[in-house]
């Protein structure tokens, strides 16, 4: 090994704690950065690439075919802001379908297949113009009996079998010859013109679709403005719905994109922390090793060699952290990307990995940043005059702090405490550095606690509403059957007789209240064709006791009113007072939107209305479940026994409400946040430890004097701990508001990523009860970091310390 | 003045690692009110002896008793309390805390022992006055001469009214005038009844200050003699020499 190598190795060996700190910090920073950048690359980039390559439409507008002619629709290309347009194309929206009975998989044959929005184009396989369709399997339909669908809208095992438009008279059937999609989900089924004509001939309502690109379309607000401009250029009331590319993007990137904001925040915090810690350690090594530098130079080391030696002492552990962080980031990405890839439409999630260039960019970028950080103090070491280094021998003694000592001695505090308090001011630069390490720790903790509280509150919302019940009553035929097996429109799906079950429940002793609800199988005109199918729930009875959250407006109270879920409202641009049209078995019903609710339980796009509204309009409400609240002191098993007698004749059975499955995304996010936070706290505390160790080493002689004068080990510990307490307190006071700001800047984009505007009940997490302990977090981190060196100081041998000069 | 032993070492040995013992079976006693000089060359074991008596180090074997306290059996915290209560220490290089004023330096031992600030300040001012350095009370040690700094160190050592004053080469870093000044101070203290253990390699200082000189050679007591011209001599025969 070369002389330089030996110097570097001994330097790393002598600073084991500092080396571990540097490795840990870069590890945390690189893990977060690889994950966040990797997710962005994997999740976001393919959509953006496809959107550009296929000339995706910013907005696909569906006009009511009864209110607009093709010419009038075409005229909207002159609306304000439109830069490019395509259409008109015929479209038939939200048609109920089932899997054909010719599907070789018997379990799927005849199964409810959800609603489809069918369109036709002059050339389905065109590779020019706007919204070019992509074929991923099979071929394009060439005759009236064939159709192509996105793979998400038809069972792969049934490919080649038929799809049946079950709610149209005559139930026209089409053979699925291809899997194909529009990048913005402008439609979810593609037929020939003759094939489309078969649907309209069978009674499907034919509407008109126009596709647009706009000059300004970066945000949902831009798209809303653009949509208004198009609506203004068309006959009044002609616009039935509009599908924004932002909704399609959200559907494509799914939950994975929600990870990006907080991972980015942790990545940035981690990188700042790395820079801070490395500058602490290398500056400390230079400051405490001046004599050593002098000896090295007197032995013939050149200034460049000295600088390299000190840079390498930081780069070795940092490189280790970078390598481990890159591996960890890639490994952690596997489960997250698995889900994301499915959202993107890949056939298999097995190949979901972060692109190699992400690891390369993050690794090299981090090494460059930490390298520059280390080089600055290392160059100072290289330039230090040899004679001065040998004469000075160690870092100059702090000259400051006398005024602080004088002031502190006047405080009515034990002397050990007041001496420790004054030490914060003896080396202001060092105190600021300790404060910065604690600050990053406090920001991370505050941010993480806020996020976790937000996650918890979000999860709490999934145990409210339709999930709240002491006991539930379901059709006997559904007992032991997976929920929603056949789909709401499948004739095999059993329903409850709402009137009789409600009457029976009211007569069972111990029943406090109950309400019934079910998926009506209806869909909503204008709902996003991609992603999850919209659900229209019909409800009977009082459900106010479930504390379902209402974001705006009020609950429906009159016939013809409905409440729309926030995600559907955001995606389509529905507001309180608007009218929406729901369709069940090709029967249309207009509903007035009375309120927007926040519901994370029952799917992405939901509408709720009273069952009586459906009945009055000639539609069929479905009641699939009653949620029962028992009176206090009523035993569930006793009630179930007596309820069974009343319910069995009605083909209804009692089940205990065993709760619902955990939201795995939120659990994964929570675990990631907790891991990264613990890592950041550990790094912050280790940063403090590193500084206090350095300080204690430099003050070992003074400590010896004090111990010789009778300072006990406890007093020594108290003095060292107090030396960081004030700094920790100040860092806490600054760090908490910063952490709150980071959380506010992160949680909303996370909500946006999953297409939800988080309500105050979820986003307002910082209560006084939470903030006050957080304010003390700075002191806790500082004390955690100072505890070990305080113990070392207390145990140091007085006689040895006294000999140290 | 009493004849009870203030310091008593019995067959005390201190070994570091595998080398020869720094102290080898030393037995000695010092009576209260005596001023005893421990004389020896570098490496003779005199600093080790002082550290054992001050409770800064533990013997490998044997016992160390000071003012009735078995110092060798004390834990860390009790050693610190023992030093506060019974020991005052004066060092060659003063060991004053540079960022505290003279007054604050002197007050530290009393404050560590829990004395109230007002009372500690009053006593420190008295001590500084009696040592004729009260005019420097608000000054920082670095602005004082060596002799003045050593006077401050002595004041600090006396702050808790210790039974025993340990002086480790107290004139070693001083010019001759300051050294004489400190020597006279020690004599004065001893004449007032203060027990003093003076560790030095300066034969003249030992002879002129202490009433008795114990010479250490290679960790063993080589000589234990009474100095007729030195300080108080309580009972030279009390120093049982092996």
Average pLDDT rounded to a whole number, residues B170-197: 90
Interchain CB distance below 8 Å, B112 and A397: no
Q: DSSP code of A56?
A: -
pLDDT value for A356: 87
Euclidean distance between CA atoms A131 and A391, whole angstroms: 77
Interface mutation vs chain B, best among A404, A704, A708, A794, most B CBs within 10 Å: A708
Instruction: Retrieve residue B17's tokens.
Output: 């690692």
Query: Which range, of A101-105, A484-488, B94-98, B210-214, averages the lowest pLDDT?
Result: A484-488
Chain A residue whose CA is closest to B52 = A799
Taking the Cβ of residue A388 and every Cβ of chain B, the question of whether any pair is shorter than 8 Å is answered with no
Supply the range of the domain harboring residue B49: 5-94+163-238
Nearest CA to CA, how far is A705 from chain B (Å)? 6
Q: Give residue A383's region: left, alpha or beta (phi > 0; psi -120 to 50).
A: alpha
Q: Are strands A535-541 and A561-565 parallel, antiparallel or unpaired?
A: unpaired
Does B125 contact A at CB distance below 8 Å? no
Residues from chain B that touch A412, judged by Cβ atoms under 8 A, are: 117
Query: Which token pair is A149?
Result: 């669908």
Q: Is B111 close to A415, i.e. CB distance below 8 A?
A: yes
- Answer whether residue B140 is part of any domain: no
Quick one: pLDDT at residue B240?
32
Q: Which of A433, A498, A484, A106 is nearest to A273 (CA)?
A: A433
Contact (Cβ atoms closer than 8 angstroms) between residue B228 and residue B211: no
The CATH number covering residue B211 comes to 3.40.50.300
Give me the number of domains chain B comprises.
1
Contact check, Cβ <8 Å, B77/A714:
yes
Whether A785 and A695 have beta carbons less than 8 Å apart is answered as no
Instruction: Classify each residue of A686-725 as buried b or exposed e, where b means 16 or more C-beta atoms within 10 Å of its C-beta.
Output: bbbbbbbbbbbbbbbbbbbbbbbbbbbbebbbbbbbbbbb
Q: What is the mean pLDDT of each run of 10 residues along chain A (805 residues)?
A: 68 74 82 81 77 91 90 92 92 87 88 89 90 92 95 90 90 94 91 94 90 92 92 90 86 75 81 78 72 73 82 87 91 72 45 80 89 84 70 51 82 90 84 89 90 81 74 84 69 86 91 92 84 88 86 92 91 89 86 89 85 93 91 86 89 77 70 81 82 83 90 93 92 94 87 80 85 90 91 84 64
What residue has token string 């389905």?
A124
How far apart CA B151 and CA B127 sit, in angstroms, is: 10
For A19, residues 6+ apart whose C-beta sits below 8 A from its C-beta are: A12, A281, A313, A316, A317
- From chain A, the residues in CB contact with B83 under 8 A are 708-710
Q: Rounded distance, CA A169 to CA B42, Å?
A: 114
Binary contact (B57, A805; C-beta < 8 A) = no
Q: Are A115 and A586 in contact (CB under 8 A)?
A: no
Is A353 an interface residue toward B (CB < 8 Å)?
no
Tokens of B98: 């540079």
Closest CB from B47, B77, B112 relative to A416: B112
Residue B216 pLDDT: 94
Closest residue to A401, CB basis, from B54, B85, B99: B99
List chain A residues with CB under 8 Å of B93: 805
Distance CA A319, CA A240 (A): 58
Instruction: Look at residue B138 and tell me if it is in a domain.
Output: no
Check CB contact of B229 with chain A, cutoff 8 Å: no
Residue B182 inside a domain? The answer is yes
Q: Which 643-702 residues of chain A touch chain B by CB within 8 A?
A: 701-702
**Cross-chain Cβ contact B99/A405 below 8 Å:** yes
Contact B101 A406 (CB under 8 A): yes
The single-letter DSSP state of residue A603 is -
Which of B93, B99, B138, B168 to mutate against chain A (most A CBs within 10 Å)? B99
- pLDDT reported for residue A545: 85
Residue B146 lies in a domain: no
Residue A92 backbone zone (phi > 0: left; psi -120 to 50: alpha; other: beta): beta
Q: Determine contact: B160 vs chain A, CB below 8 A.
A: yes
Q: Does B240 touch chain A (CB under 8 A)?
A: no
> pTM for the complete prediction?
0.74
**B112/A711 Cβ within 8 A:** yes
- Across the interface, whether the CB atoms of B89 and A794 are under 8 A apart is answered no
Q: Closest residue of B to A407, CA-based?
A: B100
3-state secondary structure chain B: CCCCEEEEEEEEEECCCCCCCCEEEEEEEEECCCEEEEECCCCCCHHHHHHHHHCCCCCCEEEEEECCEEHHHCCHHHHHHHHHHHEEEECCCCCCCCCCCHHHHHHHHHHHCCCCHHHHHHHHHHHHHHCCCHHHCCCCHHHCCHHHHHHHHHHHHHCCCCCEEEEECCCCCCCHHHHHHHHHHHHHHHHCCCEEEEEECCHHHHHHHCCEEEEEECCEEEEEEECCCCCCCCCHHHCCCC
Q: Domains of chain A: which residue ranges?
A: 1-52+260-396, 65-237, 399-462+663-805, 468-656
> Does A406 touch chain B if contact means CB atoms closer than 8 Å?
yes
Asked if the C-beta of B222 comes within 8 angstroms of chain A's C-beta atoms, the answer is no
Q: Are A282 and A310 in contact (CB under 8 A)?
A: yes
pLDDT at A591 (0 to 100): 94
Contact A409 B160 (CB under 8 A): no
Query: How far apart (Å, rounded) are the C-alpha atoms in residues B169 and A545?
Result: 86
**Per-residue pLDDT, B2:** 47
- Spatial separation of the C-alpha atoms in residues B49 and B57, rounded to whole Å: 9
A710 touches chain B (CB under 8 A): yes
pLDDT tier for residue B232 given thresholds of 50, 70 and 90: low
Give the relative orientation of helices A220-233 and A245-253 as an angle to the nearest 10 degrees. Answer: 140
Question: Which residues from A are below 8 Å from B139, CB to CB?
Answer: none
CA distance B129 to B111: 19
Number of neighbours of residue A170 by Cβ within 10 angstroms: 10
Alpha-helical (H) ranges within A61-152 are 70-75
* pLDDT class of B156 with cuts at 50, 70, 90: very high
Q: CA gyration radius for chain B? A: 17
CB-CB neighbors (< 8 A) of B76 in chain A: 712-713, 794-795
Euclidean distance between CA atoms A419 and A723, whole angstroms: 8
Q: Look-up: residue for tokens 């990264």?
A: A676
Chain B residue with minimal CA distance to A404? B99
């Amino acid at each position: 090994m070369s002389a330089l190598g030996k110097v570097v190795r001994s330097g790393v060996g002598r600073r084991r704690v500092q080396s571990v700190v540097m490795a840990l910090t870069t590890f945390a920073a690189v893990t977060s950065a690889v994950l966040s950048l990797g997710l962005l690359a994997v999740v976001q980039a393919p959509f953006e690439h496809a959107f550009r390559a296929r000339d995706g439409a910013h907005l696909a507008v569906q006009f009511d075919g009864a209110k607009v002619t093709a010419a009038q629709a075409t005229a909207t290309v002159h609306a304000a802001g439109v830069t490019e347009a395509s259409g008109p194309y015929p479209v038939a929206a939200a048609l109920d379908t089932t899997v054909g009975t010719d599907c070789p998989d018997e379990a799927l044959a005849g199964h409810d297949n959800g609603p489809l929005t069918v369109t036709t184009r002059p050339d389905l396989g065109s590779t020019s113009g706007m919204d070019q369709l992509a074929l991923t399997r099979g071929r394009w339909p060439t005759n009236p009996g064939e159709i192509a669908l996105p793979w998400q809208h038809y069972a792969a095992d049934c490919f080649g079998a038929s799809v049946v438009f079950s709610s149209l008279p005559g139930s026209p059937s089409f053979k699925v010859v291809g899997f194909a999609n529009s990048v913005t989900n402008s439609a979810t089924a593609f037929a020939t013109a003759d094939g489309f004509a078969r649907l309209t001939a069978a009674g499907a309502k034919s509407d008109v679709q126009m596709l647009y690109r706009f000059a300004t379309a970066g945000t949902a607000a831009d798209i809303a403005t653009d949509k208004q401009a198009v609506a203004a250029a068309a006959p009044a009331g002609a616009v039935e719905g509009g599908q924004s590319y932002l909704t399609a993007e959200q559907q494509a990137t799914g939950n994975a994109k929600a990870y990006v904001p907080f991972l980015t925040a942790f990545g940035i915090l981690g990188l700042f922390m790395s820079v801070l810690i490395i500058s602490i350690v290398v500056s400390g090594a230079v400051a405490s090793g001046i004599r050593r530098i002098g000896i090295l130079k007197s032995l013939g080391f050149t200034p460049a060699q000295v600088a390299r030696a000190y840079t390498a002492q930081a780069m070795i552990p940092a490189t280790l952290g970078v390598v481990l962080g890159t591996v960890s980031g890639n490994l952690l990405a596997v489960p997250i990307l698995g889900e994301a890839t499915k959202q993107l439409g890949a056939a298999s999630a097995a190949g979901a990995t972060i692109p190699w260039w992400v690891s390369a960019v993050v690794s090299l970028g981090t090494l460059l940043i930490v390298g520059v950080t280390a080089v600055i103090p290392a160059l100072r070491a290289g330039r230090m005059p040899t004679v001065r280094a040998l004469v000075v021998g160690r870092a100059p003694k702090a000259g400051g702090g006398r005024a602080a000592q004088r002031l502190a001695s006047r405080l009515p505090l034990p002397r050990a405490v007041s001496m420790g308090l004054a030490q914060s001011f003896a080396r202001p630069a060092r105190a600021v550095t300790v404060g910065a390490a604690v600050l990053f720790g406090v920001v991370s903790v505050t941010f993480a606690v806020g996020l976790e509280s937000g996650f918890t509150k979000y999860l709490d919302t999934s145990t409210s509403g339709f999930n709240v019940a002491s006991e539930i009553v379901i059709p006997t035929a559904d007992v032991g059957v997976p929920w929603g097996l056949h789909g709401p429109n499948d004739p095999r799906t059993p329903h409850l007789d709402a009137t009789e079950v409600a009457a029976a429940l009211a007569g069972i002793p111990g029943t406090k209240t109950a309400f019934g609800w079910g998926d009506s199988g209806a869909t909503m005109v204008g709902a996003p064709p991609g992603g999850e199918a919209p659900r229209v729930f019909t409800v009977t009875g009082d459900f106010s006791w479930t504390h379902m959250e209402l974001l705006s407006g009020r609950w429906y109270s009159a016939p013809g009113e409905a409440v729309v879920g926030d995600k559907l409202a955001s995606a389509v641009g529905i507001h309180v007072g608007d009218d929406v049209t729901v369709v069940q078995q090709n029967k249309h019903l207009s509903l007035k939107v009375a309120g927007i609710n926040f519901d994370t339980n029952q799917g992405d796009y939901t509408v709720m209305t009273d069952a009586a509204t459906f009945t009055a309009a000639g539609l069929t409400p479905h009641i699939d479940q009653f949620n029962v609240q028992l009176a206090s002191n009523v035993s569930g098993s006793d009630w179930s026994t007596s309820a069974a007698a009343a319910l069995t004749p009605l083909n209804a059975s009692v089940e205990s409400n065993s709760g619902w499955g955990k939201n795995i995304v939120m659990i994964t996010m929570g675990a990631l946040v907790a891991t990264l936070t613990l890592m950041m706290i550990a790094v912050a505390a280790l940063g403090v430890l590193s500084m206090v160790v350095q300080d204690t080493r430099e003050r070992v002689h003074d400590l010896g004097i004090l111990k010789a004068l009778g300072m006990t080990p406890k007093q020594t510990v108290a003095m060292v701990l107090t030396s960081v307490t004030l700094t920790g307190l100040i860092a806490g006071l600054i760090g908490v508001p910063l952490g709150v700001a980071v959380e506010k800047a992160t949680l909303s984009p996370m909500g946006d990523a999953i297409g939800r505007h988080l309500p105050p009940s979820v986003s307002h997490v910082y209560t006084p009860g939470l903030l006050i302990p957080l304010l003390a977090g700075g002191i806790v981190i500082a004390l955690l970091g100072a505890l070990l060196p305080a113990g070392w100081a207390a145990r140091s041998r007085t006689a040895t310390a006294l000999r140290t000069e | 003045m009493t004849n009870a032993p203030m310091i008593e070492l019995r067959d005390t040995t201190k070994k570091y690692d595998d080398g020869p013992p720094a102290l080898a079976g030393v037995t000695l006693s010092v009576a209260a009110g005596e001023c005893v000089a421990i004389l020896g060359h570098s490496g003779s074991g005199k600093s080790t002896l002082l550290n054992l008596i001050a409770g800064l180090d533990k013997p490998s074997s044997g016992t160390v008793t000071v003012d009735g306290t078995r110092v060798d059996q004390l834990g860390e915290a009790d050693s610190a309390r023992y030093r506060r209560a019974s020991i005052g220490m004066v060092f060659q290089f003063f060991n004053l805390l540079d960022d505290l004023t003279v007054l604050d330096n002197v007050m530290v031992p009393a404050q560590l022992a829990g004395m109230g600030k007002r009372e500690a300040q009053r006593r420190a001012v008295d001590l500084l006055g009696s040592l004729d350095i009260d005019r420097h009370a608000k000054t920082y040690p670095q602005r004082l001469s060596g002799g003045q700094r050593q006077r401050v160190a002595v004041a600090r050592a006396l702050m808790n009214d210790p039974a025993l004053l340990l002086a480790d080469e107290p004139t070693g870093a001083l010019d001759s005038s300051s050294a004489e000044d400190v020597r006279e101070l020690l004599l004065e203290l001893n004449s007032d009844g203060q027990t003093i253990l003076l560790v030095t390699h300066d034969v003249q200082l030992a002879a002129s200050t202490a009433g008795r000189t114990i010479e250490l050679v290679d960790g063993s007591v080589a000589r234990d003699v009474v100095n007729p011209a030195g300080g108080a001599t309580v009972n030279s025969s009390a120093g049982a020499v092996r």
